[in-house]
Amino acid sequence: MLSSARTVRPRWLRMLTASALAASLAVAVPAAASATPSTTRDGTEAQRARLQQLARKVVEAGAPGVIVRVDDGRGRPVEIAEQAAWSRRDHLLKVGDEFRMGSNTKTMVAALVLQLVAEGRLALGDPVEKWLPGKVPNGKAITLRMLLNHTSGLFDYTEDAAIRPSILGKDRRRWTSAELLALGVRHDPLFAPGTRWSYSNTGYAAIGAVLERVTGTSLSELVRDRIARPLRLKHTYYPADSTWRGPHARGYEPDAAHMPPGVPAEFRHLAGPRHHGHVDVSDIDPGWGGPAGAVVSTTQDWFRFYTALMSGKLLPAAQMTQLRTTVPMDSRRPDGPGYGLGIQTNAGTCGTVWGHDGGVPGYLTTNLTDLTGSRTATVLISTEFWAEFEADPKIAEAAHALQTAVTCTMFGKPVPAGAHAG
């Protein structure tokens, strides 16, 4: 879950066709995409029509709903919402709806850490032992930077069976950052600190515990007071439970009888209302994601957050440099995709993309931006297990085509002729 799981690689490297972020970071675009951007109204409308067609293809492939927002920094953004007819009885999907951000939370949590670094209250080179004595084995060798860029070697707590009932909505307990950390560190580390890269939600559980200890403030209050209120993000929050604050996208997974064969038996039964072969998982408490994945937001709010972050409004120049200092995500490709502090990047044909993705039951989200935050894009698909378990090639193909088109549209490039589905 949360864009990691079962291997040391991120989802988009494991699943070239299924991963939302893979499609945007590893897209191979035909030569036509390098043409001069169209600035005509007709060109914009044609791009919108193409994106809407591709979003509809994702729904036709089996996704309950899709939201797209693309801003190329030159005018009015393209905003699209498509949904399956059967899902309308639950909620009429709108672009402004709230949804669960999953691992995109990590970008926001990293920004909080860097704010405290700028204030002299933390240092990226601090060993985790300094702030959480005795809580992390070999904590003197693991720095805050390693926790943030996934080089700590800590086992990912989402792989522990004890968290599974919470992921599936069968256990309503509220996990604290300290409890999630303890779940992860009861397993042996994967490697010596700083020697490799492996996605670990446990590292962010540790970061959450550090933030709460240093500030004496809850993560909910830190997100509210340091990011949401200053940026006027009215629909962005770190939830205290499963409650939503505003109109929200409904998230679904297939019920056990309709679950794709590739989904493991232990993940085939989720809690929630059932109809049309699906389980409505919208009210599963995201607390099991904690600092690694619990934040709720909207497409518009995340656009404002990315713009503020990448333009330097939230952080001084020195901390922005640290945010963008990356390590290779694949040791076989040292010049390939990199992970910074809560954000990842790759140079694609249409432009260099920065961003993150996130997956929790019912919500698969990709958020993208350019280096300056002047161009942004978000894609939400309101079902996630198809990607987590590489279980539905039909949705994967359609989602790949959509993400390819979204990425090039964000950079003001023509939608590739090769972006098709079905």
pLDDT tens-digit map of 40-88: 455 678 888 999 999 999 999 999 999 999 999 998 899 999 999 999 9
Residue type, 243: T
Q: What is the DSSP letter of 98?
A: B
Q: How far apart are CA 384 and CA 406, in angstroms?
A: 19
CB burial of residue 52 (10 Å; 0-12, 13-18, 19+):
middle
Q: State the catalytic residue, choosing from 103, 152, 177, 200.
A: 103
Query: Is-contact 163 155, C-beta < 8 A?
Result: no
pLDDT tens-digit map of 333-369: 988 999 999 999 998 878 999 999 999 999 999 999 9
pLDDT tens-digit map of 266-302: 999 999 999 999 999 999 999 999 999 999 999 999 9
Average pLDDT over the chain, rounded to whole?
A: 90
Extract long-range pairs of 313-321: CB within 8 Å, 24+ residues apart. Answer: 313/231, 314/111, 314/115, 314/227, 314/231, 315/111, 315/114, 315/115, 315/118, 316/118, 318/118, 319/114, 319/115, 319/117, 319/118
| CATH no. of 11-410 | 3.40.710.10
Whether 3 is catalytic is no
Reported pTM? 0.91
Q: Which two tokens stand for residue 109?
A: 């949590």
Q: Which of 149, 159, 135 is nearest to 106 (CA)?
A: 149
Domain residue ranges in the chain: 11-410
The number of beta carbons lying within 10 Å of the beta carbon of residue 223 is 26
